[in-house]
Every structure is written in structure tokens, then in C-alpha cells.
């Protein structure tokens, strides 16, 4: 891939990251991610479809509720908002091309600062869209998905499409329209809705039924606009149970699937699952993946990890090989992502203040996924894992069980089967044995 630097290089000290294999001591090299290596019938690049997230890497400045910015990066300095946005795009494409990744993702307000003037915002985004079109053409990097930030501005404090004030909802519409225009112009392959404020803080002031109907209608209206304007990609809903809102309507995968079914949106929408959102919902990420795969709706994922001691979205870079290997087992068996890929929705820590830290973070996450992909493929191909799981259900091969599954066995027949066959045997689920298989292949 051609390395793309703007007028100034922002990551001067960092070379292009290449695959060197597990033995290398070079911190700026991949040990596992070898993009053209074939694993389970596809290249690593095609299985993983990595994307860099604009917001965490190029807008995130390390500030937290207790303290000011600590990431004082050179691309974020120019006082002119358009020039600053272009510097940021230069930094983004320098990093993405040095990492050798195929995709990026953004919110409208990540690309260029927004004001309260709708027409001015549209104009700014159009200027930056043209700039990004050129960057994409020069590098071959593509847009995995675009989205609109409908949660940061104070007007959205009571929700965007679920706001009790129609005037606010209309502003959300204006933003989504412009973000869709940008996504379409950039050949974006998907479009995401994350409902950060689509929910409520207190039922005392909330008509939940009305708000959920508005959310559905807003999605339909947005879909219709995008389709009319040539968007052929997939829309993703990104579930999250809470934070910033106390109760969010897109709670988890199962909830969103029910919602999409209720409002007839399954033909256009799939899921974008995030690791730390799953754990906030009280699930494992593997659980969320399995729910989506079983419904044929695994569109994409936001990669990160949470902190077991904290109850919020810490968005750390993924490093947990057990969690990722179990996840890759599900993704592989499900045939991969439907339209999406792996977006690093993760941020370096407040005290990781060197531009190079962004590289170490991504290299670690990329290698952790690549290694998990190899491990999971190995487990599926060579271990007893699949066979053991299948064997647990072997009793369903009997004629009586097949009749039950087909819906032709009555409750009386189940009773007679129970009487005829006496007490079932005690059968081991062999959980520890299976856990050992994962570790043995790591
Ligand atoms: C926040 C979400 C957000 C979405 C995009 O928790 O993960 O970053 O991915 O709006
Ligand atoms: Ni996310
Ligand atoms: Ni998140």
C-alpha cells in the first residue's frame, strides 16, 4: 500500500508496519497479521476487514471528566477549522496506510467541527468529503461505514429521533441526511446508527411507546432517503444497554432483532456489535455474536475490551486472546461479517501521549485478532470441539425426537417416551475439557 503523507508527516518516527512473524523483536511489525495469508479458505485481510475509527484516534484528546486534554497532537492545532480538518485527514491517512489497513469509519463531526448552522455544516462536510475522496483515490483505503453523531450536542440531551421535541428530531434528520450524502459520495459500504441518547433517564417524563415508534419511523425515513440516492450498502444498528442514557432502547442484540422485526426493517438493517457494549448488557461478547449469527444478522463489529472492575465503556484496545479466540470461532462458523468488518472503536489511555502509542495500540489489536483467527481455524479443523458439541444433541436423531422437532409429536407421546425409557442418564457437558482445548491451541 502506498504511504500517504500530507504536507507534513505526523508520524515521522514510525515506519510502514509489515509482517515479520512471531519471532521478530521489532515493536513496529506484525507478528501474526499477514494480510495475504489464507486461513480457512479466505485471506486474513478478507476475514478481518480492519478499520480505523476516526473519533478515538484523531479527535480523542485524552480529556476525562476530571481533567483536560493530554493528547496534544500536531494535527489538531490549526485555528482554521477547515485546515484543521484537512490536517486530521492527512494524519488519519498516514496512519491507516502505514498500518496497511483497508478501511476507516467516521462520524460527521469527527471529520470537521460542526456549528449550530445546518447549511454551514453541510458545506463543511462537503468540502471535507471532496478532500477524503482524493485521499481514498490516492491510497485505495475505503470507507467501511459513516454515521452521524446524534449524542454530543446539547440539543440531543433528551434524545435525537426519540426526543420529545419534534424540532430536535428534525435537526437529527438534517444531520443524518448530510452524513448519508457524505457516506454515499465516499462509496461507504455501510451506515451505522448508534442510539447513544435514544432512551430515557426517567419514565416519569417519558412516553416510551411513542419514542420507540419515532425511532422506527426515523430509521425508515433515513433508509428511504439513502436508497433513493443510490446507497446499496447495509444499515447497522449498534446495540448498547446504557451510557450515556440510563435505559437505551437498543439494549442488546436480541432486543434490536425484535425491534427490527416489529418495524419491518430486517431487509435493510443488520447489527454492529461492540465488545464492551455486550459486557455492559451483562452478556459475553460471544453471546451477542452467537445471537446475531443465528439470526443471519452479524453485519460488523466494534473491537475493544472493557475493564472487569469498571461499569462503563472503557474502550480499551483488544488484547484478550481467550475472548477473541472464542469470538473468532463463532465468526468463522457463521461465515464472517455480512458487509462490515472489525472497526477499532478503542482509545489509547489518557497517559499514552505519544503519536506512536496509536500504532502500538493498533498493532496489538490487529495481531490479537489475526492470532485468534489462526487459532480458531485450527480448533475448528483439528480439534474435537465441533464434534463434542454436536454429540451432546445426538439423542435428537431418534425418530421420536425428529417428530418433536417437526411439530408432529404430542405431549402425550412425550409422556409415553419418558415412561418407556425410564430415567435419563447423567451426561457430562465437559466444559473444562472444552476450555482446555481452547488453551491448548492458543
Ligand atoms: C459508543 C459507541 C460509538 C459508536 C458510533 O459507545 O461505540 O462510538 O460506535 O457512534
Ligand atoms: Ni461503537
Ligand atoms: Ni462504545
* 12 a catalytic residue: no
Ion ligand 3 neighbours (CB, 5 A) are 274, 313
Interatomic CA distance for residues 240 and 276, integer angstroms: 9
Our answer on whether the CB atom of 34 is closer than 6 Å to any ligand 1 atom is: no
Give 302-360 pLDDT, tens digit per residue.
Answer: 999 999 888 889 999 999 999 999 999 999 999 999 999 999 999 999 999 999 999 99
Q: Give, for 322, the enclosing helix (H) or strand (E).
A: helix 321-333
Our answer on whether the CB atom of 58 is closer than 6 Å to any ligand 1 atom is: no
**Predicted pLDDT at 308:** 85
Looking at the chain, the whole-number percentage of residues with pLDDT higher than 70 is 100
**Predicted pLDDT at 71:** 97
Given a cut of 90, whether residue 8 has pLDDT beyond it is: no
**Predicted pLDDT at 162:** 98
Our answer on whether the CB atom of 194 is closer than 6 Å to any ligand 1 atom is: yes
Residue 5, phi-psi category: left (phi > 0), alpha (psi -120 to 50), beta (remainder): beta
Give 263-298 pLDDT, tens digit per residue.
Answer: 999 999 999 999 999 999 999 999 999 999 999 999
Rounded to an integer, the average pLDDT of 209-215 is: 98
Q: Retrieve residue 359's grid coordinates.
A: 500504532
Average pLDDT in the chain: 97
> Is 91 exposed, middle or buried (CB count within 10 Å of its CB: 0-12, 13-18, 19+)?
buried
Nearest-atom index, ligand 1, CA of 313: 6
Neighbours of 153 (CB within 10 A): 17
Output the residue whose Cα is nearest ligand 1's atom 10: 194
Give 63-89 pLDDT, tens digit per residue.
Answer: 999 999 999 999 999 999 999 999 999
Give 89-101 pLDDT, tens digit per residue.
Answer: 999 999 999 999 9
> How far does residue 345's CA lie from ligand 3's centre (Å)?
7
* 56 a catalytic residue: no
Residue with the bigger pLDDT between 313 and 148: it is: 148
**Predicted pLDDT at 27:** 98
**Predicted pLDDT at 255:** 98
Give 25-59 pLDDT, tens digit per residue.
Answer: 999 999 999 999 999 999 999 999 999 999 999 99
Our answer on whether the CB atom of 147 is closer than 6 Å to any ligand 1 atom is: yes
Rounded to an integer, the average pLDDT of 165-178 is: 98
Interatomic CA distance for residues 305 and 310, integer angstroms: 11
Output the residue whose Cα is nearest ligand 1's atom 2: 194
Output the residue whose Cα is nearest ligand 1's atom 6: 313
Given a cut of 90, whether residue 17 has pLDDT beyond it is: yes
- Distances in whole angstroms, Cα of residue 361 to Cα of each of 40, 57, 202, 206, 319: 27, 10, 38, 41, 9
**Predicted pLDDT at 240:** 98
413 contacts: CB under 8 Å, gap ≥ 6: 400, 403
Given a cut of 90, whether residue 2 has pLDDT beyond it is: no
Rounded to an integer, the average pLDDT of 370-394 is: 97
Looking at the chain, the whole-number percentage of residues with pLDDT higher than 90 is 97
> How far does residue 42's CA lie from ligand 1's centre (Å)?
29
Interatomic CA distance for residues 442 and 424, integer angstroms: 36
Residue ranges of domains in the chain, CATH in brackets:
18-382 (3.20.20.150), 385-441 (no CATH)
Would you say 111 and 157 are in contact if contact means Cβ atoms under 8 Å apart?
no
Neighbours of 9 (CB within 10 A): 15
Helix, strand, coil tally for the chain in percent (to 5): 50, 15, 40
**Predicted pLDDT at 236:** 99
**Burial call 288-316: b when 16+ CB within 10 Å, e when fewer:** bbbbbbebebbbbbbbbbbeeeeeebbbb
Output the residue whose Cα is nearest ligand 1's atom 5: 194
Amino acid at each position: 500500500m502506498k504511504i500517504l503523507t500530507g504536507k507534513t508527516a505526523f508520524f515521522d518516527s514510525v515506519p510502514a508496519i509489515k509482517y515479520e512473524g512471531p519471532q521478530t523483536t521489532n515493536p513496529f511489525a506484525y507478528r501474526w497479521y499477514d494480510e495475504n495469508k489464507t486461513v480457512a479458505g479466505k485471506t486474513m485481510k478478507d476475514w478481518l476487514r480492519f478499520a480505523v475509527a476516526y473519533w478515538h484516534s484523531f479527535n480523542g484528546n485524552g480529556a476525562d471528566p476530571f481533567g483536560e486534554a493530554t493528547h496534544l497532537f500536531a494535527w489538531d492545532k490549526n485555528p482554521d477549522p477547515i485546515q484543521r480538518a484537512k490536517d486530521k485527514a492527512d494524519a488519519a491517512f498516514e496512519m491507516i496506510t502505514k498500518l496497511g489497513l483497508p478501511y476507516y469509519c467516521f462520524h460527521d463531526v469527527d471529520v470537521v467541527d460542526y456549528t449550530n448552522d445546518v447549511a454551514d455544516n453541510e458545506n463543511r462536510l462537503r468540502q471535507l468529503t471532496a478532500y477524503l475522496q482524493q485521499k481514498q483515490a490516492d491510497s485505495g483505503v475505503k470507507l467501511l461505514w459513516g454515521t452521524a453523531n446524534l449524542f454530543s450536542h446539547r440539543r440531543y440531551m433528551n434524545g435525537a429521533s426519540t426526543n420529545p421535541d419534534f424540532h430536535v428530531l428534525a435537526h437529527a434528520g438534517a444531520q443524518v441526511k448530510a452524513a448519508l450524502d457524505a457516506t454515499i459520495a465516499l462509496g461507504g459500504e455501510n451506515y451505522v446508527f448508534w442510539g447513544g441518547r435514544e432512551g430515557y433517564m426517567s419514565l416519569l417524563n417519558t412516553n416510551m411507546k411513542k419514542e420507540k415508534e419515532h425511532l422506527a419511523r426515523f430509521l425508515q425515513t433515513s433508509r428511504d432517503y439513502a436508497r433513493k440516492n443510490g446507497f446499496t450498502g447495509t444499515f447497522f444498528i449498534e446495540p448498547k444497554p446504557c451510557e450515556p442514557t440510563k435505559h437505551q432502547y437498543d439494549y442488546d442484540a436480541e432486543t434490536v432483532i425484535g425491534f427490527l422485526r416489529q418495524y419491518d426493517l430486517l431487509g435493510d438493517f443488520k447489527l454492529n456489535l461492540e465488545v464492551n457494549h455486550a459486557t455492559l448488557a451483562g452478556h459475553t461478547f460471544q453471546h451477542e455474536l452467537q445471537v446475531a449469527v443465528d439470526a443471519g444478522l452479524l453485519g460488523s463489529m466494534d473491537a475493544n475490551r472493557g475493564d472487569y472492575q469498571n461499569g462503563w465503556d472503557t474502550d480499551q484496545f483488544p488484547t484478550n486472546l481467550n475472548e477473541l479466540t472464542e469470538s473468532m470461532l463463532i465468526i468463522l462458523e457463521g461465515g464472517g461479517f455480512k458487509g462490515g468488518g472489525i472497526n477499532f472503536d478503542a482509545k489509547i489511555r489518557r497517559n499514552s501521549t505519544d503519536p506512536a502509542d496509536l500504532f502500538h495500540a493498533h498493532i496489538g489489536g490487529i495481531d490479537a485478532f489475526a492470532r485468534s483467527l489462526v487459532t480458531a481455524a485450527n480448533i475448528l479443523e483439528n480439534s474435537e470441539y465441533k464434534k463434542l458439541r454436536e454429540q451432546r444433541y445426538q439423542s435428537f436423531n431418534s425418530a421420536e425426537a425428529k417428530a418433536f422437532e417437526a411439530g408432529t409429536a404430542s405431549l402425550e407421546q412425550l409422556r409415553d417416551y419418558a415412561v418407556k425409557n425410564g430415567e435419563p442418564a447423567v451426561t457430562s457437558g465437559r466444559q473444562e475439557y472444552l476450555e482446555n482445548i481452547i488453551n491448548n491451541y492458543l
